[in-house]
Amino acid sequence: MQIVRQLDPLRDALAEFRKAGLKIGLVPTMGALHAGHMRLVEVAREQCDAVVASIFVNPTQFGEGEDLDAYPRQEVADAALLDAAGVELLWAPTADQMYPSGYATSVSVTGISDGLCGAARPGHFDGVATVVAKLFNQVRPDAAYFGEKDYQQLAVIRRMARDLDFTHDIVGVPTVRDPDGLALSSRNAYLTAEQRANAVALPEAMREAATAIADGGKVAAILEAAKARILASGFHKIDYLELRDANTLALLDVFTKPARLFAAAHIGPTRLIDNIPLS
């Protein structure tokens, strides 16, 4: 696997892939790779001839007081995993390749970015949309792969790609979970053993609430009960637990298909997010 940190050699390597007629799949990440990321790589490998993974801990998507400095960085271990998974090229740009001195441009996707994590983390999705637009321009993939765990991010990226005329496929890959149901996340590494044991209350309460809502129960009452259960299980703050339209992300107070349940909650210093479909 080639590891490339500068734009010129990246373009040279990609030109070789294109000359060979290879379909290029891009898996953007911020590193600290887990089985969820590796599933993205696996799907990309099934659908493409050459897989490019990127690792860049993007400062513009972290707000003040968030975990930019603490975010786990383990490039050597990540590179070994990607290599073993058959990735052809790791794009690990330096910060100045991504944001050169005088950098002044931002991509902002309004509407779909406003609620959920957009409300709790102002500016976050501008940072995501900006860096992903740059990655799309840098790599010009035939398909790009994102986890449904960050479902609002996926919706923002789909809208950004449509609005800015990126024509490649944007592929959403279902969330990978630990056997007890906790969604895999690089931030799970922050959890103590006790917090990790308690964290399972989040997907459990969500699953129960989703079933009760799909069975015709009152949405508001069910969500209140689920919040109480989460707060009684070691979480100290809930940013949101909401039922939303799965396509538009519009808030739903009555169950209509397609719908998803979205949650973000804090346990110790760690903020966990999750979402599940209602059937």
Could you give the residue numbers annotated as active site?
A: 37
- Report the residue count for the chain: 279
Per CB under 6 A, 130 contacts ligand PAF: no
Per CB under 6 A, 143 contacts ligand PAF: no
Span from 23-31, 73-81, 234-242, 245-253 in contact with ligand PAF (CB under 6 A): 23-31
Q: Which of residues 47-86 bind ligand PAF (CB under 6 A)?
A: 58, 61
Nearer to ligand PAF, 112 or 259 (CB): 112
Span from 6-14, 24-32, 84-92, 187-195 in contact with ligand PAF (CB under 6 A): 24-32
Per CB under 6 A, 132 contacts ligand PAF: yes
Phi, psi (deg, nearest 5) at residue 264: -140, 130
Neighbours of 148 (CB within 10 A): 18
Per CB under 6 A, 274 contacts ligand PAF: no
Neighbours of 90 (CB within 10 A): 23
Per CB under 6 A, 97 contacts ligand PAF: no
Is 121 strand, coil or helix? coil
CB of 27 to ligand PAF, least distance (A): 9
User: Which pair of tokens denotes residue 121?
Assistant: 């983390």
Q: Rounded distance, CA 250 to CA 236, Å?
A: 26
Q: Which of 10, 26, 30, 85 binds ligand PAF (CB under 6 A)?
A: 30
One-letter amino acid of 224: E
User: Which pair of tokens denotes residue 27?
Assistant: 């898996």
Indicate the helix (H) or strand (E) that contains 24: strand 24-29
One-letter amino acid of 67: D
Per CB under 6 A, 128 contacts ligand PAF: yes
Q: Which residues bind ligand PAF (CB under 6 A)?
A: 28-30, 58, 61, 128, 131-132, 150, 153
